[in-house]
Every structure is written in C-alpha cells, then in structure tokens.
C-alpha cells in the first residue's frame, strides 16, 4: 500500500515541475517588454523602494529623537516638582510648632 502512495507523490511532483517550467516559458513568451526594458523597470522600482525606505528611516529617527526630548523634559520637570515638594515638606516640618 505504501508503494501506491510513493507513486502518487512522484506523479504529483512531476506535474508540479512541468507546470512550473510551462509557466516560466509562457511568462517569457508573453512578457510585455524586452529583457533590457524589464531590467530597467526593476532597477527603477528598486531605487524608488530604497528612497522610500531611507525617507521612512529618517522620519523614524526624527520621531524617536522628538519623543526622547519630550521624555527627557517630562523627567526633568518631574524631578523638579519632586524636589520642590520635598523642600517645601522639609521646611514645614522644621518650623517650630
């Protein structure tokens, strides 16, 4: 029984390979542009993709830097408020009753 299963797997694999080869041949025959034109378009799209990725990375860095500045400012303000509250509390506890 396992022999039947092995035979079917080989047939399926062969059909897949023949389909892939046939598909590649049809794609080459029906390609709208010559190879040189297709390569030029692919290079252009790749360049545009790199430019978009570079721009996105720049915007991401700007966002992170801005958020870091906001967080630093908030921490500094929190420390200052804590210091003022602590100083005010210690001044009131040292006053004579």
Check pLDDT > 60 for residue 27. yes
61-94 pLDDT tens trace: 999 999 999 999 999 999 999 999 998 887 776 6
Mean pLDDT of 11-26: 83
Instruction: Read off the pLDDT band of 31 (50, 70, 90).
Output: confident
Q: Which two tokens stand for residue 38?
A: 């297709």
pLDDT at 40 over 80: yes
Would you say 22 and 14 are in contact if contact means Cβ atoms under 8 Å apart? Answer: no
For residues 39 and 85, which has the higher predicted lDDT (pLDDT)?
Answer: 85
Distance (Å, rounded) from C-alpha 79 to C-alpha 66? 20
Residues 6+ apart with CB under 8 A from 31: 38
Matching residue, tokens 């799209």: 45
**Residue 15 burial (10 A CB sphere; 0-12, 13-18, 19+):** exposed
Percent of the chain past pLDDT 70, that is, above it, reads 86
Mean pLDDT of 11-40: 80
Task: Supply the pLDDT for residue 6.
Answer: 57
């Amino acid at each position: 029984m396992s022999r039947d299963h092995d035979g079917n797997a080989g047939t399926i694999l062969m059909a897949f390979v023949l389909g892939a080869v046939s598909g590649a041949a049809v794609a080459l025959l029906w390609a709208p542009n010559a190879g040189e034109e297709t390569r030029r378009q692919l290079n252009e799209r790749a360049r545009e993709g790199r430019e978009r990725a570079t721009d996105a990375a720049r915007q991401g860095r700007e966002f992170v830097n801005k958020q870091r500045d906001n967080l630093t400012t908030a921490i500094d303000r929190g420390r200052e408020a804590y210091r003022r509250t602590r100083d005010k509390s210690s001044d009131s506890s040292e006053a004579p009753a």
